[in-house]
Copies of this chain bind each other. A is one copy, B any other.
Amino acid sequence: MSVRAGIVVTGTEVLTGRVQDLNGPWIADRLLELGVELAYVTQCGDRAADIEAELQFLAAQGVDLIITSGGLGPTADDLTVATVAHFAGRDLVLDTALEARIAEILRTLMAARGGEVDFEAVMAANRKQAMVPAGAQILDPVGTAPGVVVEPGPGRPAIVVLPGPPRELQPMWPRAVETAAVQQAIAGRTVYRQDTVRMFGLAESGLAETLREAESRIEGFAELEITTCLRRGELEIVTRYESTASDAYTALIDLLRDRYPAELFSEDGALIDDQVAALLAGRTFATAESCTAGLLAARIADRAGSSAYLAGGVVSYSNQAKVDLLGVDPALIADHGAVSEPVARAMAEGALARFGADTAVGITGIAGPGGGSAEKPVGTVCFGVALAGRPTLVRTVRLPGDRTDVRERSTTVAMHLLRGELLAQRSG
């Protein structure tokens, strides 16, 4: 027997797409880890009738667990708790202990902010947040809004009511899962393993063919639930399976390893960013970017601790900047064009020298929409990877998509070329 769940995301700003919903995907991941199948995600505005219609829909589909996010604030358009109480046939009652707890939080917050505030007025507005469905379990507030868990009835789902801000919702989730109500609702779940592998330089259709082959060759293949998706130009393959299907999974990985020795770069789910960060440890890295204009340096710096190996970079958007700041020979640009392998090499080597680095990447390309030619169409990008003590690697690729796609994918290609060179140097 499998356990199914549904998510209700409330809030007009999410429904209208002006704020991206981060809670649905985050809860989806947690449910997957738990072994609970997510059947539906629904979004509606701050309207009681719409929220209750969605709760009824999910209950009618027989889900075992409903999670709501949002609508727990102190204002009039925060309706979720009252709506859930009505749906569950419970009275809304004032929890005086909770009221005291919220008062304490508000007092601390207001003291920290200072200034003259009418504490009683604020407390009156926030009293609403201490009204909960009779008999429901309270999840202590992370901000000022408490969460609520309503236990399942006969043939009725358990309901977990969480606040909208991800930084409040996320710490509450493990506490919600621990409640008796949720444990009862998910008792029948199947525990799955989930493994992720990543490939680069392979089309989704090529993989689909290999998976069809695996279907006929690997015993127990049908017990593997495989989903593939393209992310930043890489292929992510997530497989979910019960422990009885471990052999089939091992056989699948063996097959992929055999067919795609160059493309399969991660068997443990590690991102290329994780791998490059590990390989750069103890080194000094610099960038020289034209079309990506800082995206590669920013991607490297995205990780806390990157200052240990990132010296810096030059965004050499103009030809003059390539000459002045990276020491690229103007004759190279005149002879081969700014987007060429000789210039990419000179940029990488220039960054190596100027930053006193031992590792550098140069990128120069045509991101579009203008600037393309028959010989060098939009999407043509040249890379140089310079490692001290090795000949500089150069590569030219042609990337699909629009300006944003080309720039974004260029950083992914650069990460993979860099990884390859660092591994090659390490292995001798």
A44 touches which of B39, B231, B317, B404 (Cβ 8 Å): B39
User: What separation, in Å, do the CA atoms of A40 and B19 have in the docked complex?
Assistant: 15
Instruction: Write the chain B residue with the least CB distance to A370.
Output: B304
Asked if A320 is an interface residue, CB under 8 A from chain B, the answer is yes
User: What separation, in Å, do the CA atoms of A325 and B354 have in the docked complex?
Assistant: 7
User: What separation, in Å, do the CA atoms of A305 and B370 have in the docked complex?
Assistant: 8
A303-317: CB near B (< 8 Å → 1, else 0) gives 011110011111111
CB distance from A366 to the nearest CB of B (A): 11
User: What separation, in Å, do the CA atoms of A403 and B298 have in the docked complex?
Assistant: 12
Q: Are B325 and A310 in contact (CB under 8 A)?
A: no
Q: Are B302 and A315 in contact (CB under 8 A)?
A: no
Q: Are A227 and B13 in contact (CB under 8 A)?
A: yes
Best-surrounded residue of A307, A312, A316, A404 (most CB of chain B within 10 A): A312
Q: Are A321 and B311 in contact (CB under 8 A)?
A: yes
A297 touches which of B18, B25, B293, B320 (Cβ 8 Å): B293
User: Which range contains the number of A residues in contact with the other chain?
Assistant: 35 or more
Asked if A427 is an interface residue, CB under 8 A from chain B, the answer is no
User: What separation, in Å, do the CA atoms of A28 and B19 have in the docked complex?
Assistant: 12
Instruction: Write the chain B residue with the least CB distance to A9.
Output: B41
Instruction: Write the chain B residue with the least CB distance to A240.
Output: B16
Assess A311 versus B317: contact at CB under 8 Å? Given A17-B24, A45-B39. yes
**For A304, what are the chain B residues with a Cβ–Cβ distance below 8 Å?**
368-370, 403
Q: Are B293 and A300 in contact (CB under 8 A)?
A: yes
Surface stretch bound by B, among A50-58, A146-154, A244-252, A267-275: A50-58
Q: Are A315 and B294 in contact (CB under 8 A)?
A: yes
**For A320, what are the chain B residues with a Cβ–Cβ distance below 8 Å?**
311, 355-356
Q: Are B40 and A42 in contact (CB under 8 A)?
A: yes
Q: A20-B20, A294-B298, A313-B317 are in contact. List 9 more A-B contacts (CB 8 A).
A: A18-B229, A18-B236, A39-B50, A287-B294, A294-B294, A298-B298, A301-B315, A310-B317, A314-B315
Assess A315 versus B287: contact at CB under 8 Å? Given A16-B227, A29-B17, A236-B18. yes
Assess A301 versus B317: contact at CB under 8 Å? Given A15-B38, A19-B229, A293-B294. yes
**Interchain Cβ contacts under 8 Å between A and B, 26 examples:** A15-B28, A16-B25, A17-B24, A17-B25, A17-B26, A18-B229, A20-B25, A39-B50, A40-B43, A40-B53, A287-B294, A293-B298, A293-B301, A294-B294, A294-B296, A294-B301, A298-B407, A301-B317, A302-B407, A304-B370, A304-B403, A311-B317, A312-B316, A312-B317, A313-B317, A324-B356
Asked if A295 is an interface residue, CB under 8 A from chain B, the answer is yes
Asked if A292 is an interface residue, CB under 8 A from chain B, the answer is yes
**For A210, what are the chain B residues with a Cβ–Cβ distance below 8 Å?**
none
User: What separation, in Å, do the CA atoms of A43 and B7 have in the docked complex?
Assistant: 10
User: What separation, in Å, do the CA atoms of A354 and B355 have in the docked complex?
Assistant: 15
User: What separation, in Å, do the CA atoms of A41 and B40 have in the docked complex?
Assistant: 10
Asked if A266 is an interface residue, CB under 8 A from chain B, the answer is no
CB distance from A26 to the nearest CB of B (A): 7
Best-surrounded residue of A32, A294, A297 (most CB of chain B within 10 A): A294
User: What separation, in Å, do the CA atoms of A205 and B329 have in the docked complex?
Assistant: 56
Residues 376-409 (chain A) with a chain B CB within 8 angstroms: 403-404, 407
CB distance from A17 to the nearest CB of B (A): 3
Q: Are B45 and A50 in contact (CB under 8 A)?
A: no
Best-surrounded residue of A307, A313, A354 (most CB of chain B within 10 A): A313
Asked if A12 is an interface residue, CB under 8 A from chain B, the answer is yes
Asked if A425 is an interface residue, CB under 8 A from chain B, the answer is no
Q: Are A310 and B324 in contact (CB under 8 A)?
A: no
**For A53, what are the chain B residues with a Cβ–Cβ distance below 8 Å?**
40, 57, 61
**For A301, what are the chain B residues with a Cβ–Cβ distance below 8 Å?**
291, 293-294, 315, 317, 407
Asked if A216 is an interface residue, CB under 8 A from chain B, the answer is no
Instruction: Write the chain B residue with the least CB distance to A302.
Output: B404
User: What separation, in Å, do the CA atoms of A339 and B266 have in the docked complex?
Assistant: 38
User: What separation, in Å, do the CA atoms of A16 and B40 have in the docked complex?
Assistant: 10
Best-surrounded residue of A25, A43, A53, A293 (most CB of chain B within 10 A): A293
